Amino acid sequence: MDVNSARRFLTQHDNYTILTHINPDGDTLGCGFALCRFLRGMGKKANVVNGDVLPHRYSFLYDDYYNQEFEEKCVVAVDIADPKLMGDSLEKYQKPGVVDLCIDHHISNTGYANDMLLDSSAGAAAMIIYEVLSGMGEITSEVAACLYTGIATDTGCFKFESTDSRAHIYAAKLIETGIDFYRINRKMFEIKNKNVAAAERAIVSEMKFYLNDRVAVNVISLDTIKKYGVEPAELESIPSVPLTIEGVAVGVTVKEKADRIYKISLRTAEEFNASQICSEFGGGGHIRAAGCEIKGELDDVIEKIISKISEFM
Amino acid sequence: MDVNSARRFLTQHDNYTILTHINPDGDTLGCGFALCRFLRGMGKKANVVNGDVLPHRYSFLYDDYYNQEFEEKCVVAVDIADPKLMGDSLEKYQKPGVVDLCIDHHISNTGYANDMLLDSSAGAAAMIIYEVLSGMGEITSEVAACLYTGIATDTGCFKFESTDSRAHIYAAKLIETGIDFYRINRKMFEIKNKNVAAAERAIVSEMKFYLNDRVAVNVISLDTIKKYGVEPAELESIPSVPLTIEGVAVGVTVKEKADRIYKISLRTAEEFNASQICSEFGGGGHIRAAGCEIKGELDDVIEKIISKISEFM
């Protein structure tokens, strides 16, 4: 499906459920609430649905949001590469044929939806939503704040390689609606809760280096999360820490999900393909950021991933 | 002078000395080397002059640069608000009438140059240089990398309030020349030496909170600097750390200068005037960032500054 078809689709349907992915980030929530606000502005009914509790730091995206009552007639998934990412609580949407339209930028999208608007060249799914919506009517500052948040967060505030001239041009257009991008960026990239900052420091102070300091590993244990009273989602800046150290080419974050179940998140600098490495463990993602799950004792899990990385060196 | 007049000026003159300011940053160096490369590309002679040693992190801006031999006929200052900022070693350029053209974005510019192109609405001086040069010929990727660096650094990578839609539109144009903005941003905003990162963590892990967590204090001791083998200048990001903690309104950095002599640097969020607080100790600065010196035992120094801050609460 192309952008024009997506516009026609959104114009022709109503009573939307907009699905966003678990471990929600600024892009999926920015897409979801932007689309929901825009559709409601057209006089349509729409709700945003997420299988997780929404992290407080994104509350500015939905502080005036309320659920509407209606009979669901159309299901749209935004920024969801795989039905599994809807989460267990939304199992009914994971079945084949249930999602009518998926708008996404992940090259790894499984093609689960009946219709799909996929642009893997877009640094953020919010860029695709912008392209669709800007051709359908005025982008209000409320919608613009959601889309800007999606673009800024998924491009690392225009720093990542995935940033292109489109990302800047759309940001320019969105800024012109008068959004408070300074406050959005402070919230997204700077201000941290005291406990979160302390937990981060505790985790990073234990960072271990491997393979001639080319690989750095941080471990987020359930004990640490409990000790500092933080939500795992609040520690989402941890995966980007290793690559800030001069010489580190692969950053590994090992997050304890449950006893002997670890979620690995990989970030890579120029030479390595994170998605390729993670796919060896049944995971996937992007070239510079990918993830997988490995079961076992912590030390064994770390050894497995380091050993796999060394094969690519 | 307007942008068109600046274009005529640059076309009509030759044998340029391009002055940049001391404590050089990405904007002044980005402007200087962009202008120099562009003029040389026109077949003109031009050199960049700076009164300081250039920090290594900016070396990608000038790694193929060499000084040309010629008789200086025209002096252009970029991003220099005040002749004093040329530094003592360039005293001869500080005299009235010596600088032919100043291109700047500081509202505080003293008007020392014979001609001036000033746009205080520009978030970076590099935006003004872009406006001038883009109307004179092709912006090569080498020139674009310099201008992008200026815009990205002076807008805090598009985060600061001073960012506007122009900054994004120019960034989009510059990116289209094929520059490696990802590497530039990594160098400018992310990569830290392992020892510097360890020193920062050690300092911040001892951060103390006062006055209902409204004030946070970091101490940089000579012992810490020695222990981690870092230069005090490498720890310049420490003063901005306290304000990244939710709820903190005043951030205090206490840096040991010599035995019982401490340099205080204050950063404030919206409600407090850092300059006013520091002036009580004979210091000064800006509303959001100011400094002073206090002598005595560390604990007494901290007590003095906290007690003074509490008077303003």
pLDDT digits (tens, 9 = 90+) for B240-280: 899 999 999 999 999 999 999 999 999 998 778 998 999 99
Average pLDDT (A270-277) is 89
pLDDT at B35 over 80: yes
pLDDT at B281 over 90: yes
Burial status of residue B67 (CB atoms within 10 A of its CB: 0-12, 13-18, 19 or more): exposed
Looking at CA atoms only, how far is residue B226 from chain A in angstroms? 19
Domains plus CATH for chain A? Answer: 3-189 (3.90.1640.10), 194-312 (3.10.310.30)
CB A206 within 8 A of CB A227: no
Cβ within 8 Å, pair B185-A159: yes
A140 in contact with B, Cβ within 8 Å: no
Number of neighbours of residue B122 by Cβ within 10 angstroms? 24
Cβ within 8 Å, pair A158-B160: no
Task: Tell me the count of A-B CB pairs closer than 8 A.
Answer: 103
For position A285, what pLDDT does the model report?
Answer: 86
Higher pLDDT, A187 or B11: B11
Average pLDDT (A19-28) is 95
Q: Which among A237, A246, A268, A288 is the top mutation candidate for probing chain B, defined by the most B β-carbons within 10 Å of its own β-carbon?
A: A246
Distances B70 to A60, A92, B73, B115 between C-alpha atoms, Å: 58, 76, 9, 23
pLDDT at A301 over 80: yes
Lowest mean pLDDT, pick from B163-167, B199-203, B286-290, B295-299: B286-290
Cβ within 8 Å, pair B163-A175: yes
For position B237, what pLDDT does the model report?
Answer: 86
Q: From A295, A275, A277, select the one nearest A81 (Cα to Cα).
A: A275
pLDDT at A56 over 90: no
For position A105, what pLDDT does the model report?
Answer: 96
Cβ within 8 Å, pair B204-A201: yes
For position A231, what pLDDT does the model report?
Answer: 86
CB B79 within 8 A of CB B27: yes
Average pLDDT (A32-58) is 95
Mention every residue, 6+ apart, whose C-beta is less than 8 A from residue B25: B153, B154
For position A170, what pLDDT does the model report?
Answer: 98
Enumerate the residues of chain B whose CB falls inside 8 A of the CB of residue A173: 165
Q: For the segment A138-197, what is each residue's pLDDT rounded down to a tens digit?
A: 999 999 999 999 999 999 999 988 999 999 999 999 999 999 999 899 889 888 889 999
A60 in contact with B, Cβ within 8 Å: no
Cβ within 8 Å, pair A172-B176: no
Give the global pTM.
Answer: 0.86
State the ipTM, two decimals: 0.85
Report the mean per-residue pLDDT for chain A: 95
For position A174, what pLDDT does the model report?
Answer: 98
> If pLDDT is split at 50, 70 and 90, which confidence band does B207 have?
very high
pLDDT at B55 over 90: no
Beta strands at B261-268 and B284-285: parallel, antiparallel or unpaired: unpaired
Shortest CB distance from A157 goes to which of B159, B209, B213? B159
Q: For the segment B82-114, what is each residue's pLDDT rounded down to a tens digit?
A: 999 999 999 999 999 999 999 999 988 999 999
Task: Say whether B277 sits in a helix, a strand or coil.
Answer: helix
Enumerate the residues of chain B whose CB falls inside 8 A of the CB of residue A194: 209, 213, 245-247
Mention every residue, 6+ apart, whose C-beta is less than 8 A from residue A51: A22, A86, A87, A88, A89, A90
Please count the CA atoms within 13 angstroms of the CA of A201 that sit on its side-chain side. 20
CB A302 within 8 A of CB A207: no
For position A261, what pLDDT does the model report?
Answer: 97
Output the six-digit token pair for B88: 């003592």
